[in-house]
Amino acid sequence: MKPQRIPRTRTVPHTVDGDTEYIEETEYIEVPAAPHDWDQIVRVAITVMAIVLLVAAVSWSTASIGSLLSRITVSAAAYGAASAFDLLWIMATAARWLLRTDPVRVQAAIRFGRVALAVAMAAILADGYVSGELVIGAVGACVSALAKGGTELAMLVHDKPLDPRTQKWLNARRARLNAQLGLLPVRRELARGAAALNAEQRRLEMLAADSGSADPDESGQSADDPNADVLAIRPGALTTKDAVRIAWDSGIRDDEQAVRYVAKATGKAPSPDTVARYMRLFRQGLAG
């Protein structure tokens, strides 16, 4: 067996005039060369031949079907539409490869590919019939079928069939993962809805606070708040709101201290809830 030389690099000390430095040194070791993997070579050769045959078949079918369609439309549109026949079959074949480990869904790709092949063969045969060369049309349809069948053979040599127990294990894992992936859009939708709801709630709270800044409790005013429908006994007397503003400007931030200050400033005991509302508006910068 022919050996194979493999380079190996190591660091060794090297001394010149008493000074030592570590340098890299390359050496080669010989190991037995691996034998040729003829199975892989044949597999690659089959794949290459299938691709060559597929290119030839696609060229033939596109030219034939394009010639048929160009009888009623411009050539560019005719050959563009003709390419759809083979592109659909290629899509089905690619889907079959991606779904090769899913025995249920792969059947849909196989059936669609067979339908696309049958339609393309019928179109090639129709072109031969219209051109008066039915035999050539039949041969061309067979070429398309054989070339695409070669692609199926190439896929078979690459397939790795699973035993029934392993297939069931894979199906269970895939189902669990697909459930999580399928819920991702729903989770995003719920998150967007929750964010929109929170934003709307904050907006309404801000609007309510702003509209009630002149009087935060219009539905039920406390006894110590001024009433617009009743004439004040002492016009110009200090109101609860004015007293809270003075307390706030004086640096008072505690509600209880503010209540005591308002009681002292106005000469009567205010409602703690009213003072607390005015203090909250001053904290939020919403008080006028």
Q: What sections of the chain are H helices per DSSP?
A: 38-69, 75-98, 105-130, 134-158, 164-211, 240-249, 255-266, 272-284
pLDDT tops 90 at residue 111: yes
pLDDT tens per residue, range 132-184: 889 999 999 998 899 888 888 888 888 888 899 999 999 999 999 989 999 99
| Segment 1-4 long-range contacts (CB within 8 Å, at least 24 positions apart) | 1/32, 1/33, 1/35, 2/33, 3/30, 3/31, 3/32, 3/33, 4/30, 4/31, 4/32, 4/33, 4/34
pLDDT tops 50 at residue 222: no
Give the model's pLDDT for residue 237: 64
Please report which confidence band the pLDDT of residue 38 belongs to, taking 50, 70 and 90 as the band edges. Answer: confident
Side chain identity at residue 20, one-letter code: T
pLDDT tops 60 at residue 117: yes
In whole angstroms, give the CA distance from residue 56 to residue 151.
12
Give the model's pLDDT for residue 1: 60
Q: Where are the domains of the chain?
A: 3-32, 38-161, 240-284
In whole angstroms, give the CA distance from residue 102 to residue 115.
20
Please report which confidence band the pLDDT of residue 279 belongs to, taking 50, 70 and 90 as the band edges. Answer: confident
In whole angstroms, give the CA distance from residue 243 to residue 28.
94
In whole angstroms, give the CA distance from residue 205 to residue 217.
14
Give the model's pLDDT for residue 6: 85
pLDDT tens per residue, range 43-93: 999 999 999 998 998 998 999 999 999 988 898 999 999 999 889 999 999
pLDDT tops 60 at residue 194: yes
- Residue (of 61, 58, 76) closest to 122 by Cα position: 61
Quick one: tokens of 59?
A: 């060229």
